[in-house]
Amino acid sequence: MYQFHYQQGAAGKLDAFPHILEIYAKKNTAIQLQSFPQQVAKGLCIYFIQEGKFEWWVNGVHYFLFPGDTVLVLPGETIGNEKGLLELGSIYCLELNIKPLKQGELVPGVWSGLGQAECAAIGKLLHLKSTSVLSRMSDAGRILTSLFYEIHHLELAYVTRVNQLIDELIIAITRQLTRQCLPARDFSSIFMKLEDALRKDLSHQWTVEEMAAIAGMGTTLFTEKVKGFTGFTPINYLINIRISEATRLLKRRDISITDIALDTGFYSSQHFSTTFKKLTGYTPGEFRKNNTYTE
């Protein structure tokens, strides 16, 4: 195991990688107090447990960590040991200067080969993650080992190779996160999770790629599954959810129709009105007039 610790601005080897805030491989052979206090992550942090047993808190959740576990910490989340110490063992750490934009969209920067739609889907999945720990993820250890080798040895084309490995690591983590959250591959349960995610953020302009990513599928398979399960295309399925939520909100007279239109993801009140009448036979105003407050 290589042991080193590079920080941006303090190590020349990171000059070609302004997107890497910190990277280290550490073998901790003695417990030191105040060596790992709970702290707020500046960027996107990825930890990999190589050896030992660790007891960490990640964003307020308590975890026991074992070899092979990978820890994902988003910018602004907290991580550390409750007593401030780092237990015996070996860990890898990579902190990237990536800050998610509104709605969780990930914008890594020009160094990344990921496309805009891929970044949006990955960012949304990370934003919606239900756990910060990926169990027995050997791929992360393999990729980080290769990454550390490239930065440490600076061989031919190492800049390109390092950036490729970071992309590969982000993709592998996102896929593993999806598999771990949807272990049974039972589409009915996947479907319920997807609908829950959509309803929590209906104002977001969801794409088929983003919805497919949450389901852990490619867009073609996802579209076939949704059609088979609901009879609708993914977009029409989403529109039905928007209308369903809108009918609930229209019964509340304290919310304007324009606000309901925007909150449920329509571009304007006119777009909302046209779609609503097409699917229900009423304009939003007519529907509101005929329905009293029931909640």
> Can you give the residue range of the structural domain that contains 238?
187-291
Instruction: Look at residues 162, 181, 200 and tell me which one is the last residue of a structural domain.
Output: 181
Mapped onto helix, strand or coil, the DSSP state of residue 61 is strand
Tell me if 88 sits within 8 A of 52, measured CB to CB. Answer: yes
pTM comes to 0.72
- Reference 288, options 253, 264, 262; nearest CA is 253
**196 to 193, 201, 262: CA distances (angstroms):** 5, 9, 19
The CATH number that applies at residue 31 is 2.60.120.10
pLDDT score at 104:
65
pLDDT score at 106:
78
Residues 47 and 64 in one domain: yes
**281 to 4, 241, 262, 278, 286: CA distances (angstroms):** 67, 17, 21, 6, 9
pLDDT score at 102:
62
Instruction: Look at residues 152, 181, 210 and tell me which one is the last residue of a structural domain.
Output: 181
Residues 173 and 192 in one domain: no
252 has a pLDDT exceeding 80: yes
pLDDT score at 3:
83
188 has a pLDDT exceeding 70: yes
169 has a pLDDT exceeding 80: yes
292 has a pLDDT exceeding 70: no
Q: How many independent structural domains does the chain possess?
A: 2
185 has a pLDDT exceeding 70: no
Cβ neighbors of 294 (< 8 A, separation 6 or more) are 251
Residues 32 and 81 in one domain: yes
Residues 161 and 60 in one domain: yes
Residues 42 and 98 in one domain: yes
1 has a pLDDT exceeding 80: no
Residues 169 and 43 in one domain: yes
Residues 109 and 74 in one domain: yes
pLDDT score at 242:
94
Say how many C-beta atoms besides its own lie within 10 A of residue 240's C-beta: 13
Residues 8 and 74 in one domain: yes
Residues 102 and 162 in one domain: yes
Average pLDDT over the chain, rounded to an integer: 88
pLDDT score at 265:
93
Residue 64 pLDDT grade (very low, low, confident, very high; cuts 50, 70, 90):
very high
Query: 101 versus 123: which is more confidently predicted?
Result: 123
Residues 87 and 219 in one domain: no
Instruction: Look at residues 181, 214, 247 and tell me which one is the last residue of a structural domain.
Output: 181
- Retrieve residue 220's tokens: 């073609």
**103 to 129, 148, 190, 206: CA distances (angstroms):** 13, 32, 21, 10
- Reference 106, options 174, 161, 58, 54; nearest CA is 174
- Reference 92, options 111, 69, 110; nearest CA is 69
42: which DSSP letter?
A: S
Residues 129 and 209 in one domain: no
Helical (H) or strand (E) element with 138: helix 138-153
Report the range out of 117-121, 128-132, 179-183, 235-239 with the highest average pLDDT: 235-239
